[in-house]
Chains A and B, each alone.
Chain A
């Protein structure tokens, strides 16, 4: 599903070069929940951006859902993201002027669906994540956990194959964080989504199928969960 071969990413700042990622080779299978972990500046968010088609590698190849992303134009990448990817961010990043339902509807604006169908799908997605009754509330009136659930609903509403999550529990209390991790786990397990998550949260290791550790832009190792999360959370 996701395949990176010898990927490097170098940022140029004035005369300096910052090697954010160096020679990363990675393979993530369909329907698995993977975590990218590492200290700040280790390159995990850069790696996630490459996987999500938000950035391009300086060298190497990024192939996602059978498409090589390196050669796509900005517009083609945007279309690719709309079709194949859902996003969950640390600070929920809901549009504050829209209510929960309209936030969830946003990715559907890029489709040819009519207003009624968009609305129905948004409500379904909110039901899946357990906040349907909050559909007409503005983000400011929702708790952090609820906002992140709405963000997850937005990520899955267009039924993408891949969900990428950047520190989805970073701004949540322990209980809400566990709920969000369970929800992401469920996306992989029940709906067959490939979920890739950047996190600092050590608790996440109990929910994921595999954890990839990075340090200074280099992939250190891959650790499969000792106990199968599928069993642990079943």
Chain B
């Protein structure tokens, strides 16, 4: 404690340099803390998004490979399946220069309300969707984003299919954060037939099973049904589907984590450079302290505490910033207690993450400070005096 005034005053010796180093460390730690929320956040997303009785049937070779459209009829016929719908990615762009800004799929209008009955689409909207060949049901998020309302006409330019399709919005899907845009498969099929082709395939099939205990059997039966066919299937629950989908994201998350680790390493070098500069410009003073009788371990300890104090302060600032940022994100999503918050509630900087962030900063301080501090502490007083006096 008695050395504290000297340590603190040395920290404030070059205020701008200390501040910049602190900000760099704070930035890195906040980045790490936010990224550390991702695994729990993705899990929360899965819990929120998935259903246990809805299953997806897609090509075993992967999601990008299609299935014959005839499969839909056979899936519907499997005992236990109460409804099934095909999903065909249209890839329509509303604002051509921005590309596809929301997912849009062709589906069977009769099946949508029964496969996704938990969306609670109004009977009136479902009826209108069935009635109008060019009708579209749109998720609340996209409606809000573009300020659309029922009755509006919207044109999407195909990025996967040629030409444009004009839709009339006939209803809203009342799910807060759902961006999806659905339209009649028949509309797309007829348009393509007019162009000389047609739509005899689908991207995937969604089916709802009447009883959760039958799901495993239904999936096995479906996959067995298409075994040894040109397009074998892989069925999974919606929860599992999203898990696999986000599993693909895991690779991306891993890349982000590697980049974050590299950022942290860079910050170590920055902090080490600061510590080195700070020590180098004080060789004379350090020599004086040692001449007076300060032992090597005291000098080493003071310099190391100086480096770790700066890094820890940066860590506390960074962890605090990550907390504030995620809190802001949740508030932006509708408030922490609003059920509409949905999956964003999962991206929470927990106490454990805060502690990890601060300890990481402490470790950065130690790693960055140990070499220059050790070098300065073991440097011979007489040699320093010969050099600098």
Contact = CB atoms under 8 A, between A and B. Distances in A.
Contacts of A96: 13, 285
A54 B382 CA distance: 6
A81 B292 contact: yes
Interface string B361-389: 00000000000000000001110011001
Contacts of B380: 55
Contacts of B288: 87, 89, 93, 95
A90 B389 CA distance: 8
A222 interface: no
A134 B75 CA distance: 94
A220 interface: no
B305 to A, nearest CB: 14
A75 B296 contact: yes
Interface string B248-290: 0000000000000000000000000000000000001100111
A115 B5 CA distance: 12
A45 interface: yes
A59 to B, nearest CB: 17
Contacts of A75: 295-297
Contact of B385 (A45, A107, A110): A45
Nearest to B293: A82
A81 B293 contact: yes
B274 to A, nearest CB: 16
A98 B293 contact: no
Nearest to B292: A107
A106 B296 contact: no
B258 to A, nearest CB: 40
Contacts of A232: none
Contact of A78 (B2, B13, B295, B385): B295
Interface residues of B, number: 27
A95 B296 CA distance: 18
Interface in A74-111: 74-75, 78-83, 85, 87, 89-91, 93, 95-98, 102, 106-107, 109-110
Given A89-B288, A97-B10, A109-B2, A49 B296 contact: no
B296 A110 contact: no
A59 B385 CA distance: 21
B212 to A, nearest CB: 70
A115 B2 contact: yes
Contact of B291 (A52, A79, A110): A52
B268 to A, nearest CB: 26
A98 B10 CA distance: 9
A81 B2 CA distance: 20
A184 B13 CA distance: 32
A20 to B, nearest CB: 10
Contact of A110 (B9, B293, B297, B389): B293
A78 B296 contact: yes
Nearest to A110: B293
A87 B291 contact: yes
A109 B13 contact: no
A166 interface: yes
A81 B291 contact: yes
Interface string B2-20: 1101100110110000000
B284 A87 contact: no
A81 to B, nearest CB: 4
A78 B300 CA distance: 14
Contacts of B382: 46, 49, 54-55
Contacts of A107: 292-293
A230 to B, nearest CB: 29
Contact of A91 (B9, B290, B381, B389): B389
Interface string A171-195: 0000000000000000000000000
Contacts of B291: 52, 54, 81, 87
A102 B5 contact: yes
Contacts of B285: 93, 95-96
Nearest to A94: B288
A93 B380 CA distance: 17
Contacts of B296: 74-75, 78
Contacts of B119: none
A232 to B, nearest CB: 30
B65 interface: no
A90 B3 CA distance: 26
B12 A166 contact: no
Contacts of A102: 5-6
* Residue among B10, B291, B295, B296 with most chain A CB within 10 A: B291
Contacts of B386: 45
Interface in A11-56: 45-46, 49, 52, 54-55
A85 B292 CA distance: 8
B294 interface: yes
Contacts of A81: 291-293
Contacts of A78: 290, 293-296
Given A45-B389, A74-B296, A106-B6, 15 more contacts: A46-B382, A49-B385, A55-B380, A78-B290, A79-B295, A80-B293, A81-B291, A81-B292, A95-B288, A97-B6, A97-B10, A97-B12, A98-B5, A115-B2, A166-B389
3 residue pairs, one from A and one from B, having the closest CB atoms? A82-B293, A55-B382, A97-B9
Interface of A: 45-46, 49, 52, 54-55, 74-75, 78-83, 85, 87, 89-91, 93, 95-98, 102, 106-107, 109-110, 115, 154, 166
7 contacts: A74-B295, A78-B294, A79-B293, A82-B292, A89-B389, A91-B389, A96-B285
